[in-house]
Amino acid sequence: MSKQILFRFVQLIITMWAVVTVVFFLLRVTGDPIDMLYAGDPRPEAAREAETLRRNLGLDRPLPVQYVNYLVDVVTLDFGNSIALKRPVTQLIGEELPYTLRLTFSAFLFAYLLALPIGVLIAVYKNTPLDYAVQAISMAGVSIPSFWLGIMLILLFAVQLEWLPALGVGDGGIRYLILPVLTIAIPRIAFMSRFVRGAMLDVLNEDYLRTARSKGLQEARVIFRHGLKNALIPILTIAGLQLGYLVSGSVIIERVFGLPGIGDLLVDSISSRDFPVTQAMVLIIAFSMVMMNLLVDILYVFIDPRVRID
């Protein structure tokens, strides 16, 4: 077990090193960020300011030296200072990240606590009116763009009915989370319920389920204890990828609902050409995806002993 987890952590380190390397070189081969920041600036002192900023960021040094310094900074979580806000990037991320994690995990838990039983239900009652109705609704849920869904929810529940606040976080109460969580969760519920249905259909007719039924076990226990457990491997894979995507995909939702978070910070940093913040945010998003894959791989070890390394 420990060997399996250690192996996955080594993979994580190698993957993150590859991501850091790709981010470093891509951001530099696309052009000098300082030149892009000061492009078209007519002020006489612009050239002097650009050179000072380039020196402060270490962009005037040879590329190999920049790369080594960059690796050291990433390992020590030192991403420098924001050009636009004049504050440490780590501090900015620390202030915004909790909002994104709160929104993301709330939407994720709500979506999958509903998607799992719905998917199992329509798999058990396949090719029935219930199955057809849920699949039609889920197809609509997958097809609707999130930003449009968010706007429609605001118009209905905040503007017309005046039940819920439309924008911001207010006093931090749950009322301010309901609409953005629904906006993120509805497409996830639609997608995952269909995926769970497919995974369950693959195992419902297996011999071990017929054996369990022949022993007199209750149908609910057969379905959830034996069937769902063996269908969890592909479900976990998609769920992990979806959670990693939600961390990075909250950009639009945070903008629609006027919420703080790393998505909002990323958009602002790109708009203001804030190179240190943008660079750090890309790494945070990449790390979230890699970490979700690591957690899924570790969960595999506990769910399916066949994937363990002896």
- Closest by CA to 283, choosing from 8, 17, 10, 83, is 17
305: pLDDT confidence band, cut at 50, 70 and 90? low
Check pLDDT > 80 for residue 154. Answer: yes
In sequence order, what are the beta bridge partners of 81? Answer: 88
249: pLDDT confidence band, cut at 50, 70 and 90? low
Collapse the DSSP code of 88 into the 3-class scheme (helix H, G, I; strand E, B; otherwise coil) and give the result. strand
Instruction: Provide the mean pLDDT of the chain.
Output: 78
Check pLDDT > 80 for residue 186. Answer: yes
Average pLDDT of the segment spanning 158-165: 84
What integer pLDDT is reported at residue 297 of this predicted model?
73
303: pLDDT confidence band, cut at 50, 70 and 90? low
Report which secondary-structure segment, H or E, holds 284: helix 275-303
Domains of the chain, earliest start first: 2-75 (no CATH), 95-304 (1.10.3720.10)
Contact at 8 Å (CB) between 248 and 289?
yes
How far apart (Å, rounded) are the C-alpha atoms in residues 107 and 177?
A: 9
Which tokens hold the place of 64?
């190999």
What integer pLDDT is reported at residue 217 of this predicted model?
67
| Share above pLDDT 90 across residues of the chain, in percent, rounded to a whole number | 0
Collapse the DSSP code of 195 into the 3-class scheme (helix H, G, I; strand E, B; otherwise coil) and give the result. helix
304: pLDDT confidence band, cut at 50, 70 and 90? low
How far apart (Å, rounded) are the C-alpha atoms in residues 21 and 230?
A: 38
Check pLDDT > 60 for residue 310. Answer: no
How far apart (Å, rounded) are the C-alpha atoms in residues 268 and 262?
A: 10
How far apart (Å, rounded) are the C-alpha atoms in residues 108 and 292?
A: 13
32: pLDDT confidence band, cut at 50, 70 and 90? low
- Closest by CA to 279, choosing from 66, 82, 59, is 82
How far apart (Å, rounded) are the C-alpha atoms in residues 8 and 17?
A: 14
Contact at 8 Å (CB) between 122 and 131?
yes
How far apart (Å, rounded) are the C-alpha atoms in residues 254 and 258?
A: 6
How far apart (Å, rounded) are the C-alpha atoms in residues 204 and 124?
A: 8
Check pLDDT > 70 for residue 291. Answer: yes
Contact at 8 Å (CB) between 184 and 246?
yes
The total number of residues shown for the chain amounts to: 310
DSSP string of 64-93, one letter each residue: HHHHHHHHHHHHTT---B-TTT-SBHHHHH
Half-sphere exposure for 218 (CA within 13 Å, toward CB)? 4
What integer pLDDT is reported at residue 80 of this predicted model?
81
Using one digit for the tens of pLDDT, what is the confidence trace for 202-223? 777 776 666 766 776 666 667 7
What integer pLDDT is reported at residue 259 of this predicted model?
81
How far apart (Å, rounded) are the C-alpha atoms in residues 182 and 236?
A: 22
Check pLDDT > 60 for residue 1. Answer: no
How far apart (Å, rounded) are the C-alpha atoms in residues 155 and 236?
A: 35
What integer pLDDT is reported at residue 283 of this predicted model?
83
Using one digit for the tens of pLDDT, what is the confidence trace for 57-115? 777 788 888 888 888 888 888 888 887 777 888 888 888 888 888 888 888 888 888 88
Check pLDDT > 70 for residue 309. Answer: no
Average pLDDT of the segment spanning 8-29: 81
How far apart (Å, rounded) are the C-alpha atoms in residues 13 and 19?
A: 10
What integer pLDDT is reported at residue 19 of this predicted model?
83
How far apart (Å, rounded) are the C-alpha atoms in residues 27 and 2?
A: 37
What integer pLDDT is reported at residue 12 of this predicted model?
79
Contact at 8 Å (CB) between 290 and 247?
no
In sequence order, what are the beta bridge partners of 88? Answer: 81
